[in-house]
Amino acid sequence: MRMNSRVLGLLCGCILFTGCSHAPQSGIQSVREEAGGADEKVTDRRMSDGALLQRDKELQLGDLGVEERFDVKQERPPGSGVLPFGAPLLDPNGFPLVRRVPNPSVVPIGGRYVENVIKAAKSYMGTPYVYGADRTDPSTFDCSSFTRWVFLYALGMDLPWDSRSQAAYVKAFAKRKYTLLGQARRGDLLFFTKFHGTRASDYVRLTPAQKPISHMGIYLGNGKVIHSASKETGGVRIDTIRGKHLEYRLVLGGGILD
C-alpha cells in the first residue's frame, strides 16, 4: 500500500540527509568523483535468448497495469504543471504531474547529475524483480519502481509510479524527446512497448494504439541500458539495445536533467 505524501516526504528526507539502513553506501555523493563514462559490461545473454524471451510472461507484459495494484485513492502532492486554460496536467492514472529538480544539497559527480543517477542505478545491480514491487522499498523492483527509486535516492526527485506515468512526465517536462535510439544520451529515460518478438518486422506494422508503453530503463550510452525486466532475466541488469528487440520496441526517450 502506498504511503501518504507526508510519510513519503519523511522518507525522502531520510534518504537525502541521514541515509536509511537499506540504502547502499554508494548513493548521494558529496565528494568529488570523476564521471564514469566507461563502457559498462553487459550482464549476460539472457535478454538475447529467444527461447527464454518467448516463455517469459513478466518480460512480455512489463509493468502494464501495475498501477492497479495500488490504492488509486492515495493522496498525492498537488500538481505544479498546468495546460492552457488552466486545466491540470495529469498522468495516465489521473494524478497531477509535478516538475521535479535535484535536491540542492546533492553535488553532481563530475559536474553532471546523470552520473549520480547512473552510480545509484549500478549500485542496485542484481536486485530481484517483482511485478508491482513496493515503491517505498528498494529490496525488489519492477522496471518503473527501479527508475523511480534511483532518481529519488540519487537526487531526491520523486517521479511518478509506473512507466506510462513516467513517460507522461518526460513528455510534459523534458527539453529533449525523441523516438530514435541515435538521439539518446547517457542518463536519459527510455520507454518501450510490449515484447512481440526479436525481429524489427515484429514491430514495424504496429499502430500507436498497439504499442502501449510497458517497460523502461536508464540509458548508459554506447547502446546500453540498465533496467529491471523480469524475474527470469535476473532483476536489475545491463543490456545492449542496438540491433536487438529493445531497440525495435523503443517508443520514447528523453532527458529530464538537461
Q: Catalytic positions, please? A: 143, 215, 227
Matching residue, cell 548508459: 220
**What are the C-alpha distances in Å from 21 to residues 13, 14, 18, 32, 254?**
13, 10, 9, 24, 32
* DSSP structure string for 188-225: -EEEEE----SSGGGTTT--GGG--EEEEEEEEETTEE
Report how far residue 81's alpha carbon sits from residue 248's, in angstroms, rounded to the nearest whole number: 32
Report how far residue 79's alpha carbon sits from residue 72's, in angstroms, rounded to the nearest whole number: 16
Residue type at position 188:
D
Q: Which residues pair with 237 in a beta bridge?
A: 227
Cβ atoms of 158 and 147 closer than 8 Å:
no
Q: Of 136, 121, 131, nearest to 189 (Cα)?
A: 121
